[in-house]
Amino acid sequence: MYIFRNAEALRSKFVCHEGKKKLQIHIGGKGDNLGFSKFVQDITEQMQEQILDKDLGDWVMPDFTTTTDNDRVVASVAFMGAMSAYFDYGGRTGCGLPSVTLMGEQRDWEAILEKLEKVKTLGDEPTQWHHLLVPVISRFIKTFSEPSSESTKDFWGKIVHHQRGGSGQPDY
């Protein structure tokens, strides 16, 4: 938080560019390359290449006998947050999703769908959210029973949609 809150005063200690530099990775077509931890690792490596103090990344990253991959991901995300005044982060996917893995069992997703009914009792805005979410969860459930159907493939082919807007990141 200190670095983020004092970004301009500390800029010369971390980077030599003005404004924000865009760091972007291409997320390849193999399922193992689509994970969040891989994205964070690749972005962090790009970020370290741009930072003036080449030892800073090693100093920030935990490297103890008890350090787990999760610890490294959390440290990377914190590092990215600290440097977010200097960098914008993004990723691009290739042509579609190579595969989809739904965790749990079909009955778990059916239970989620059932629990969503209570959301409608919380007011108008939650009810609108319910109406948007139910078709998505229903398609998740159908994926278990009809994984190879054209309608299932079509659904997953459209799950990520690129649309430029007035704010936020243009890339997914």
Output the average pLDDT for the chain: 85
Residue 21 lies in a domain: yes
pLDDT(134) > 90 = yes
Transcribe 25-70 into DSSP letters: EEE-SSGGGSSHHHHHHHHHHHHHHHSS-TTHHHHHS--STT--HH
**Domain end residue (candidates: 43, 70, 93):** 93
Rounded Cα gap, residues 159 and 152, in angstroms: 11
**Domain ranges, residue 48:** 2-93
- Residues 140 and 80 both lie in one domain: no
CA 42 from chain centre, in angstroms, equals 13
Predicted pLDDT at 166: 45
pLDDT digits (tens, 9 = 90+) for 21-52: 999 887 765 544 457 788 888 999 999 999 99
Q: Which two tokens stand for residue 105?
A: 């069992």
Tally of structural domains, the chain: 2
pTM over 0.75: no
With cut-offs at 50, 70 and 90, classify the pLDDT of residue 167. Answer: very low
